[in-house]
Amino acid sequence: MAKADKTATMTRLHSAARLARTALAARLLTHGFYAGQDQIMLALDRHDGLTPGQLAARLGVRPPTITKTINRLQVQGFLEKRASEEDARQAHISLTDTGREAIRAIEKSVRKTEKQALKGLDKKEQKQLQKLLARIEANLSGNGEAEASEEAEAAEETSLA
């Protein structure tokens, strides 16, 4: 009998995440977006006017990475920078009208990718998967069980919307 693969779960999780990112990236590219740009756009759709540092913190990336991506999105006409009224050294990033229109395309791409990923899973299995993934996220980030439960509920509401 073959020895059980002790890394099978992490291998599958990594593979599924990579394939989901690849599928989403292909859809986003048809709308002029590259990997990672969608996350900035969606973050600004929720909280417009964030500074690059605030965006970096929310997305868990380094500020130089976010700055390069912001500059690219600005050149594409999706974002604009405005100097802070309180601190001239700070800039606030906002969606342009073109950026706001693009949000629908991003959200549609995300929905289509999620539908593709969850094909063949019934609603109960999808809900269970959301809870399990929230627990994994909490375990890896050091958050408590209560936060994992809240994240699973929020994810469920998002997918049902």
Q: How far apart are the first and last CA of the chain?
A: 46
> Which pLDDT tens digit goes with each residue over 35-45?
889 999 999 99
Looking up residue 92, the CATH number of its domain turns out to be 1.10.10.10
Count structural domains, the chain.
Answer: 2
> Which pLDDT tens digit goes with each residue over 72-106?
999 999 999 998 888 878 899 999 999 999 999 99
- Which of 92, 72, 81, 80 minimizes the C-alpha distance to 32? 72
- pLDDT value of position 6: 74
10 inside domain: no
Residue 94: which domain range?
20-117
Q: Is the pTM of this model over 0.85?
A: no
41 inside domain: yes
Q: Do both 53 and 79 map to the same domain? A: yes
Q: Do both 81 and 146 map to the same domain? A: no
d(CA 116, CA 134): 20
159 inside domain: yes
